[in-house]
Amino acid sequence: MLKEIKSLFIKEKKSNKYVSCEYVQHGFNVDYEDIKMCCFNCHEGGGRQILIDNYHGEMINWNKFFKEKRKMRELNKKGIILDRCKGCIFLKEREWDEEDYINYMVFNHWTQCNCKCKYCFTNEQSDYFNARKNYNMYPVIKKLADMGKIRGGGEIGFGGGEPALLPEFEPMVNLLLDCGCDNIRVHSSAVKYSLAIERGLREGKLTLVVSVDSGRAETYENIKRVNHFNKVWENMAKYAQSQSENKYKAKTKYIIYPGFNDNKEEIDKFFELTNQSGVKSVVLDIEGGWYEQNKYKVPDYIYELLDYAYDKALSYDMKNIELYDRASHMKSHKEEYIKLRDNVK
Ligand code: SF4
Ligand code: SF4
């Protein structure tokens, strides 16, 4: 009888199923001069809906902020998709909750770095980007934490710039971990060692991705244009040692950058050092600017190198092999792209 009443109650419970996304519901992206809804922009609508314009670290009225978010949620409930969200792959139909909290955050509001990668968006004006002042988000996020409005179960990302150079980085990561955030992703150069990253790895709640892109100092210096090769591998070994057992969240990354590291010897040395450092996870990618210009004419040897790097990772018993978007696309659409390329020739 109790079972029947229970199932009747479940049937009568109003469905809250509609098309929306995690960022509309519970997220934001802190950018240079505004707060946006997300950082995605590769779809028809262009994403990056502005939530607070002309923003430079002022205290946010979070109650007002949640009120605005509720309005967007109501639009989605009525089947209305924001223009900027149109075509976005993150839209999905599912049950959504009605609560006010944040569990998706991206921090992207600074550009200073201790590397000068040739492929970086800051490359053309590195002096400008290194001198650019950033604002301090810690007090603003602390207020949100004090209101009990930060939760785990989502995803926190640090972009930049080099996160470890951000003055508020250490207290911010500690605060987020204290709030129960259990999926923090940091892209770092690993030139500066961070105790907050170490804590996140130890607790199995932070993923660190370090794009070393090389196995030899000379190649590293050609790409990164700084001479921190040994320091980076030393720090990777320390991070790898500190990570919680069986989590493998310290990752080295190899971006195939044609003209710089597109050969098997470099990949061999990269994997030797990754293995020696104790890192058990790798990320593979292909350099974005090059890919944009060459995606319909990728030479065979680049496909082969990607397969070679993947097989190398397997041979070292890497526990996690991640292919970022471009590499994943290349690998999964290989036949189709080669056909297309060869027909154009
Ligand atoms: S649907 Fe896409 S573009 Fe819109 S907020 Fe979500 S992630 Fe951003
Ligand atoms: S480490 Fe990242 S932010 Fe720094 S220069 Fe290289 S690509 Fe740019």
Instruction: Judge if the beta carbon of residue 21 lies within 6 A of ligand 1.
Output: yes
Position 123 in a domain? yes
- Give the ligand 2 atom nearest the CA of 121: 8
Pocket test residue of 31, 72, 90 for ligand 1, highest count of atoms within 8 A of CB: 90
What is the count of structural domains for the chain?
2
Asked whether residue 69 is domain-assigned, the answer is yes
Query: How many whole angstroms from 21 Cα to the centroid of ligand 1?
Result: 6
**Closest atom, ligand 1, to C-alpha of 21:** 6
Answer yes or no: is the C-beta of 23 below 6 A from any ligand 1 atom: yes
What pLDDT was estimated at residue 344? 64
Q: Is the CB of 248 under 6 A from ligand 1?
A: no
Whether residues 86 and 105 share a domain: the answer is: no
Out of 76, 97, 118, a domain closes at 97
The single-letter code of the amino acid at 181 is: C
Neighbours of 116 (CB within 10 A): 16
* Residue finishing a domain among 56, 72, 97: 97
Q: Are residues 50 and 174 in the same domain?
A: no
If phi over 0 gives left and psi between -120 and 50 gives alpha, with beta otherwise, what is residue 46? left
Q: Which ligand is nearest to the CA of 220?
A: 2
Q: Are residues 218 and 278 in the same domain?
A: yes
Residues 164, 188, single domain; the answer is yes
40 touches ligand 1 (CB under 6 Å)? yes
The closest-lying atom of ligand 2 relative to the alpha carbon of residue 114 is 4
Same domain, 105 and 91: no
Distance 117 CA to ligand 2 centre (A): 5
Q: Are residues 212 and 297 in the same domain?
A: yes
Q: Is the CB of 137 under 6 A from ligand 1?
A: no
Helix (H) or strand (E) holding 88: none
Flag whether 268 is in a domain: yes
From the alpha carbon of 43, which atom of ligand 1 is closest? 3
Residue found by looking up tokens 């902020």 in the block = 65
**Within a domain: 7:** no
Angstrom distance (rounded) from CA 190 to CA 208: 9
Ligand 1, residue 20: give the atom nearest the CA: 1
Note the pLDDT of residue 329: 81
Per-residue model confidence (pLDDT) at position 320: 95
Q: For residue 163, what pLDDT is reported? A: 96
Positive or negative, the CA dihedral 250, 102, 166, 163 is: positive
Q: What residue type is assigned to position 223 of the chain? A: I
The tens place of each residue's pLDDT in the chain, 345 residues long, gives: 555 555 555 555 578 999 999 999 999 999 989 999 999 887 788 889 999 999 999 999 999 999 999 999 999 999 999 999 999 999 999 999 999 999 999 999 999 999 999 999 888 887 888 888 889 999 999 999 999 999 999 999 998 899 999 999 999 999 999 999 999 999 999 999 999 999 999 999 999 999 999 999 999 999 999 999 999 999 999 999 999 988 899 999 999 999 999 999 999 999 999 999 999 999 999 999 999 899 888 899 999 999 999 999 999 999 999 998 888 888 777 777 777 777 765
> How many Å lie between the centroid of ligand 2 and the Cα of residue 263?
22
Ligand 1 centre distance from Cα of residue 20 (Å): 8
- The token pair at 284 is 């593979």
3 part of a folded domain: no
Burial zone of 108 (CB within 10 Å; 0-12 exposed, 13-18 middle, 19+ buried) = middle
> What is residue 45's three-state secondary structure?
coil
How many whole angstroms separate alpha carbon 4 and alpha carbon 7?
5
Q: Is 104 in the pocket of ligand 1 (CB under 6 A)?
A: no
- Same domain, yes or no: 166 and 293: yes
Distance from Cα 91 to the centre of ligand 2, integer Å: 30
- Domain span including residue 133: 101-344
Q: What is the 3-state secondary structure (H, E, C) of 153-199?
A: EEEEEECCCCHHHCCCHHHHHHHHHHCCCCCEEEECCCCCCCHHHHH
Q: What is the DSSP letter of 149?
A: -
241 plus 261 within the same structural domain: yes
Same domain? 123 vs 71: no
Beta bridge partners of 18: 94
Q: Which of 234, 218, 308 is nearest to 273 (CA)?
A: 234
| Residues at CB less than 6 angstroms from ligand 2 | 113, 115-117, 120, 122, 160-162, 189
Q: For residue 53, which phi and psi values (nearest 5 degrees)? A: -85, 160
- One domain for residues 220 and 332: yes
- The response to whether residue 212 sits with its C-beta less than 6 Å from ligand 1 reads no
Question: 328 CA distance to ligand 2 centroid (A)?
Answer: 22
Is 34 inside any structural domain? no
SS3 assignment, position 121? coil
Cα–Cα nearest to 256, from 293, 207, 223, 218: 223
Which contacts (CB < 8 Å, 24+ apart) does range 195-199 have?
A: 195/170, 196/169, 196/170, 196/171, 196/172, 197/164, 197/173, 197/239, 198/238, 198/239, 198/242, 199/173, 199/174
Q: What is the CATH number of the domain that holds 326?
A: 3.20.20.70
Same domain, 201 and 68: no
Residue 39 near ligand 1, beta carbon < 6 Å = no
Note whether 156 and 219 are same-domain residues: yes
Task: Say if 8 falls within a structural domain.
Answer: no
Question: Which of 55, 76, 97 is the last residue before a domain boundary?
Answer: 97
136 occurs within a structural domain:
yes
Tokens of 20: 């929306």
Nearest residue to 229 via CA among 237, 238, 218, 239: 218
